[in-house]
Each structure stands twice: as C-alpha cells, then as structure tokens.
Amino acid sequence: MLHKCMFSGSGGQGSALMAKMVCLGAIKEGLKVVMTQTYGIEQRGGDSTAFVIVSDEPIGSPIVENDADVAVALSQSIYDNCFEGVIPGGKLYTNSSMIESPKQAEGFEQVCLPVSDTAVELGTVRCANMVMLGAVLAGSGLLKLETVEEVVKETMGKKKPELVELNINALRTGYAAVEKESGNE
C-alpha cells in the first residue's frame, strides 16, 4: 500500500493540520509516513500545500510531484495546481463552497463537497478541514476514521478541549457525506 497525498489550501484553512493528523494516524496504525510542506510568505491567505506519503513499506523519496493519488483543494487559488497534480485513477477532493467553477476531471475522480458551508452549519468555518479530512478517509481508505478521532482527542484535547467534540463531529460529517454519496452507509 502506498498513498501519495497533497493537502492544499490558503494559509489558515488548516491543510497542514490535515496532513499532520494523517501522519500521526499513520504512525498509530504502524505505517511508514513522511511529510513535506510548501507555503507562501503570507501568514494568512497565501497558498499552502502539505505533501504526505503513507506506506506499509519503507519510503525511498519524500517527493510528491504531480503524482498524488489523493489530493485536496480547499481554495480557488490552489485548485489548478491540485487538479494538475493528480494521477490517473486518483481522487481530487474539492471544496465546492470555494471553487467557483471546477474543471471536468479526466482519468481521475473529482469529489466536490461544500465543506466550508457544512462547517458553518456545524458551528464554525474553521472546522472545514476536518469535514474534508473525514471525506478523504471515507473515499480513499487511507486510514481508519477511529484512528484519526483518537489523534484529534490526543492533539486537541490537551490545548483546546472545547474543540475536540466539534472536530470529531466534523470528521464524522465529512465521512458520512462520502459514504452516503457512494451508497455505503
């Protein structure tokens, strides 16, 4: 098993946190994992991408370069880069709340979900990344939902315990949305 992932958005949307949750979850599940990151110089608003490779075998190179089988585009400004970075047979998870005119995917699947709108319904747009992460988990089989829920409890529970329930609910909501779409509920 090998997954090359690209989590992208504008600074402040939590794409790096999504990647960190995947890394910690992979470690919990006994998998090999490596993460690299690029980001603009802006503190908020600049584009940010976290690249994660998850494997059950040693990882020879930490590079994800236009060969992601799992990609996430949280904002319009990074969408084109994500669209071009998905391999045939891969999946691009697109935040349709912010991507005004998604392109027609050829050779890979594009899963469009209004994660920002869904997050607002849950209480705050700041959990849109967790809604999307739940969707990615359901659609890719990357990790178990329960594993990432444990990671949320461990990482957020210490510093911001009031956010644990919100973020777990967001994960479950995104997961359920993809399960419902695929008819696996």
Query: How does pLDDT run across 50-86, given as a tens digit for each residue?
Result: 999 999 999 988 888 889 999 999 999 899 889 999 9
Would the pLDDT of 113 be above 80? yes
Could you tell me the CA-to-CA distances from 146 to 15, 17, 21, 168 in Å, in that order? 20, 17, 12, 10
The chain-wide mean pLDDT, for the chain, equals 91
- What pLDDT score was predicted for residue 144? 97
Burial of 84 (0-12, 13-18, 19+ CB in 10 A): exposed
- What pLDDT score was predicted for residue 185? 53
Positive or negative: CA dihedral 46, 129, 106, 101? negative
Contact (Cβ atoms closer than 8 angstroms) between residue 130 and residue 171: yes
What is the pLDDT averaged over residues 14-34? Answer: 96
- What pLDDT score was predicted for residue 179? 87
Domains plus CATH for the chain? 2-182 (3.40.920.10)
Would the pLDDT of 109 be above 70? yes
- What pLDDT score was predicted for residue 157? 81
Question: Of 138, 125, 140, 135, nearest to 86 (Cα)?
Answer: 140
Would the pLDDT of 90 be above 90? yes
pLDDT band at 160 (very low <50, low <70, confident <90, very high): confident
Please write the tens of the pLDDT for every residue from 134-155: 999 999 999 999 999 999 999 9
Tell me if residue 149 falls in helix, strand or coil. Answer: helix
pLDDT band at 184 (very low <50, low <70, confident <90, very high): low
What is the pLDDT averaged over residues 86-100? Answer: 95
CA distance 126 to 128: 6
**pTM for the model:** 0.92
> Amino acid identity of 8?
S
> Amino acid identity of 68?
A
